[in-house]
Amino acid sequence: MATQVFKIPKSLKENMKYSFCPGCDHGVAVRLVAEVLDELDIQDRSVLIASIGCSVTAYDFLDVDSVEAPHGRALAVGTGVKRAKPNQVVFSYQGDGDFASIGLAESLHAALRGEKLTAICINNTTYGMTGGQLGPTTLLGQKTTTSTMGRNVEYYGYPIKIAEHVALCDGTAYAARVSLDTVANIRKAKQAIKKAFEVQLNGLGFGFVEILATCPTNWRMTPEQAHERVRKEMMKHYVPGVYKDITETK
Ligand SMILES: Cc1ncc(C[n+]2csc(CCOP(=O)(O)OP(=O)(O)O)c2C)c(N)n1
Ligand code: SF4
């Protein structure tokens, strides 16, 4: 008898039209979220708070209720949804620009308040949807359409280490940074996403995962080159790891 080794998660919509560019890690990240929703059996009571940017199209793929809260306001709206409906599982799926630039105040204050929310932040070191402008996570020296000579400290300041900042918030129960550059790291990423949902399910506080991801289109690279860049440049500055896990100390 044949063994099934691959199946489409039930938390993904059927016959969806794929909208991400070839080699973009958004597709892998969204799928991991769907697998976690399946494994935790929470699809029916989950609410996605969608953002702005390429990440917003998560609502085209995930078969869950969703609310769109663009321009960085995802976790403010998520707070309202969760407080009104505490039995729902509320999570955001945001880009680094949305989460850590225009939405930095909303994001950190949700963590500081210890909202029982899960936030997934895709860090591709650029504003993807709008054409590859400099974002809060753009690395020093990185050329973008708005930093054509490369990011320098004098003009643009330093890139933000999001997971470390979130971990410093007292209301954060779990904060991790993961990468999708290898199969082993994709597996680790899924475990981190699961943990970020579990802390919400157990009422422990804010759960957060920063996912290092490719944007081959705006980096003007092939998918292979883009993953190499994640390994050689991004992971050196944005070191993967678990930055806070209060379940470890309980
Ligand atoms: C106040 C404001 N300025 C600019 C924009 C245009 N805008 C829409 S999406 C986006 C970039 C989002 O980048 P990011 O959050 O990194 O997500 P990605 O597209 O990389 O997934 C920008 C700047 C906006 N929506 N609102
Ligand atoms: S522009 Fe970048 S982030 Fe957006 S879908 Fe294409 S590769 Fe992905």
Report CA dihedral (238, 127, 50, 99) to the nearest 10 degrees.
Answer: 50
H helices of the chain, where? 26-40, 58-61, 74-84, 96-97, 104-112, 153-156, 162-168, 183-201, 216-219, 223-229, 235-237
| Residue 231: predicted pLDDT | 97
| CB of residue 74 inside a 6 A radius of ligand 1 | no
* Residue 14 domain flag: no
- Rounded Cα distance between 3 and 12, Å, is 22
* Residue 116 domain flag: yes
Q: Strand, coil or helix: what is 91? A: strand
* Residue 220 domain flag: yes
* Residue 11 domain flag: no
Ligand nearest to the CA of 25: 2
| Structural domain containing residue 191 | 26-248
- Rounded Cα distance between 245 and 217, Å, is 35
* Residue 4 domain flag: no
pLDDT digits (tens, 9 = 90+) for 167-219: 999 999 999 999 999 999 999 999 999 999 999 999 999 999 999 999 999 99
CA 36 to ligand 1 center in whole angstroms: 27
Closest Cα to atom 8 of ligand 2? 24
Residues paired with residue 144 on neighbouring β-strands, in sequence order = 147
- CB burial of 14-31 (b: ≥16 within 10 Å; e: otherwise) equals eeeeeebbebbbbbbbbb
| Residue 1: predicted pLDDT | 73
Closest Cα to atom 1 of ligand 2? 128
- What region, left, alpha or beta, does residue 69 occupy, with left being phi > 0 and alpha being psi -120 to 50 degrees? beta
Give the CATH number, domain containing residue 235: 3.40.50.970
Q: Residue 3 carries which side chain, given as an amino acid letter?
A: T
Closest Cα to atom 10 of ligand 1? 53
Give, for ligand 1, the residue of 28, 49, 52, 120 to mutate: max count of ligand atoms closer than 8 Å to Cβ: 52
pLDDT digits (tens, 9 = 90+) for 57-70: 999 999 999 999 99
* Residue 16 domain flag: no
| The pair of three-digit structure tokens given for residue 27, joined into one six-digit string | 């597709």
* Residue 6 domain flag: no
* Residue 115 domain flag: yes
Domain count, the chain: 1
Reported pTM: 0.96
